[in-house]
Amino acid sequence: MSIVVTGATGHLGRLVIDGLLEKVPAAEVAAVVRDKEKAAGLAARGVELRVADYNAPETLADAFAAGDRVLLISGSEVGRRVAQHRAVIDAAKGAGVALLAYTGVLGGPEADFLLADEHKVTEQAILDSGLPYTFLRNGWYHENYTENLAPVLEHGAVVQSAGEGRVASASRADYAAAAVAVLTGEGHENKAYELSGDTAWSFAEYAAELSRQTGREIGYSSVPAEVHQEILVGAGLPEQFAAVLVDVDGAIARGLLARTDGDLARLTGRPTTPLADAIAAALKS
């Protein structure tokens, strides 16, 4: 039996592997990767590499073994993820894995925004498979905002179309720690966890915190959705992806990413990372 992490060389996957190696021997951890060379650092730490590709279902046949606990980290290619996830689910069922954990989106079936559509279909496919499952319904990441502070600092403005909506975000490391707790713990079968930060913040508060930490005046400008779309496309984002981000802001305005159920802190056994800490780390780097 191994604990298997798909998408193991991605931002979240690497953090999950790091967390697992603090809890279990490296011989019990396997990483599903597309590129062995890219994962050489994991192999050097004793992690077993299983080469497979979401887009090539035939390569997934040997990715899992009976009794494995598997973390399916959702793919990053919006619009292609349902087929990719189904391929993983089918391979996991064929292997007879003991648990399939899946990183979905906060709210699960109740989430009504575009980014949630593929997650909802995936969750249903997992239910239909009959596999023991855990749904890790991740909220928004701090890093969605703090990893690209350059334009905000350049223009002295946080520009969104979320109105006065609030976001209960947490760090990637927090969500990774929750996944580790499920993969190494007991009693998580057939449960869904709504994972979010302990505190929901507004973009006005985000701008104020940026101002405090940089010593510069940074304001929040809430613009109409169509204007936000034009700004994002003008900044170089593909129209479809920009539309998804604008749609998320609409969900934020409706309060769909503001829930603070406390599941994340309970799973990790500690408070979630404050937004201010994420901003400080981003500015330092």
Task: CATH number of the domain at 184, please.
Answer: 3.40.50.720
Instruction: Work out the angle between the directed axes of helices 172-184 and 11-21 (0-180°, nearest 10).
Output: 50
**27 belongs to a structural domain:** yes
Kindly give the confidence (pLDDT) of every residue in the chain, 285 residues in length, as a single tens digit, with 9 standing for 90 and above: 799 999 999 999 999 999 999 999 999 999 999 989 999 999 999 999 999 988 899 999 899 999 999 999 998 777 778 999 999 999 999 999 999 999 999 999 999 998 899 999 999 999 999 999 999 999 999 999 999 899 999 999 999 999 999 999 999 999 999 999 999 999 999 999 999 999 999 999 999 999 999 999 999 999 999 999 999 999 999 999 999 999 999 999 999 999 999 999 999 999 999 999 999 999 998
Is pTM beyond 0.75? Reply is yes
What would you report as the CA-atom Rg of the chain, rounded to the nearest whole angstrom?
Answer: 19
**108 belongs to a structural domain:** yes
**80 belongs to a structural domain:** yes
**129 belongs to a structural domain:** yes
Both tokens assigned to 239: 């129209």
- Sign of torsion, CA 126 130 131 137? positive
Residue 64 · residue 2 · CB < 8 Å: no
Residue 113 · residue 250 · CB < 8 Å: yes
Give the model's pLDDT for residue 78. Answer: 76
**161 belongs to a structural domain:** no
- Expressed as residue numbers, the domain containing 74 is 3-139+172-195
Give the model's pLDDT for residue 144. Answer: 95
**233 belongs to a structural domain:** no
Domains in the chain, number: 1
Angle 55-61-65 (CA atoms, 0-180°, nearest 5)? 130
Distance CA 259, CA 53 (A): 34
**226 belongs to a structural domain:** no
**273 belongs to a structural domain:** no
Give the model's pLDDT for residue 80. Answer: 79
DSSP codes joined into one string, the chain: --EEEESTTSHHHHHHHHHHHTTS-GGGEEEEES-TTTTHHHHHTTPEEEE-BTTBGGGGGGT--TT-EEEEPPPS-TTTHHHHHHHHHHHHHHHT-SEEEEEEETTGGG--SGGGHHHHHHHHHHHHHT--EEEEEE--BTHHHHTT-HHHHHHTEEEES-TT-EE--B-HHHHHHHHHHHHHSSS-TTEEEEE--SS-EEHHHHHHHHHHHHTS--EEEE--HHHHHHHHHHTT--HHHHHHHHHHHHHHHTTTT----SHHHHHHTSPPPPHHHHHHHHHH-
